[in-house]
Structure 1
């Protein structure tokens, strides 16, 4: 690859990493609440009633204080800073290679988003496993490096790739659907809005709409992924059977509200910041 092609990809990596850092720090509490909801046992206490998002959030604050809502933020940073950078760098490189200055169609946008997410998802899966375990509250890990050593010694390196299929089934469709809806809704904006000072707000709104649709479609895969990574003895098919037998169909939508809020707002913010930074350095995103 020529040097002129390397530099834009590195710039895209840096812009993506910065946008991912900001959105991760802001929305980590929603991710923690989502993980706790998805890993609740079915028979916790007779007559305890339905456990919702607010009760979990207040429970975390009550038992682990306010900073407990940011438990798992370190592995989130370790995953997100390079992970989002890899994603945007791959997205930019693929788009420049196959489309250059042409606007991708709906199906092409799905392929772009899904391809970039596949690379980033596989590369960062070990950190995703550690992050999920930090958030669920069932493991007493002290640091990311210590958690990685502990998993390798007690369960073997293969455990760091548990939930690979469920993760790809969640992230690849999410990214593909998100990029498709985001690019198509943004392209439908009137030119006077796209070139006005209100463009970042309009782009953010497009990102919110795309995020809601993509989150709802991929929610069941996210629940399965969480169970496989928290209980590494479970295979994907076994996790599906377990969730259905314990909670029924509604079990596949546990944690949907905090996840939808987090993924939607995080993706919208990341894409808005990424595009603004790319425009600032003179590159077309």
Structure 2
């Protein structure tokens, strides 16, 4: 959204949209923000213009992402307060260093750094396992990790439990769309949902005997590897770029997978998809 477009959209209408998205009544939001329901109603209908602090307070109670908080401020006639620093800026040197340390510490297992749109920011050596055999267009920067994973010319043909893994990925993306209201993520969800899948996709992940996590099961030549993943984010971001960074790390789920990553039988070398300088 441009600055001009943001100014043309009343802040009250935007705030009401976020309140509805969060499934809160005016009374519930008013109590949480310590304002009167009458005043909140006036703000939403445009009869009252909120102060800068009021916009930020309501955005905080609505758990609005930092990028969209700036848009709310613009719509109310105020300057944005959350910077969006380029990732290669010297100001983010500590952030890039922390990401790299996390990726390196996870060797030899795969780990990837992503932005909000699921684009690859950096990888470790083990992440080569997730890109092997993918079509060249899918590896052209900016690489979208969801597209690379679920595309029939990407990782999908090597995922043994594609239906199960695809269902949980699409579920994560759907929840992210609901949280952020990002139209680009919504378009990505529609694209990925149309990719073919020849396996059943469970609506709910119901554990089988001994299951504690949804696994990623990959065919790597003659080997069958099983992983679970964790996602790390920065706990106290005040910058849009930092707030939207995450690191997904894949851990072996069984002894056979652990053994496959021993120094004598590693997964190979990384592909040239990293963009952090």
User: Could you say which TM-score interval applies, normalised by the shorter chain?
Assistant: under 0.3
Q: Which has the bigger relative contact order, CA under 8 A and spacing at least 6?
A: 1
Structure with a larger share of its residues in strand: 2
Q: Which has the greater radius of gyration?
A: 2
How does the TM-score come out when normalised to structure 1? 0.24
Structure with a larger share of its residues in helix: 1
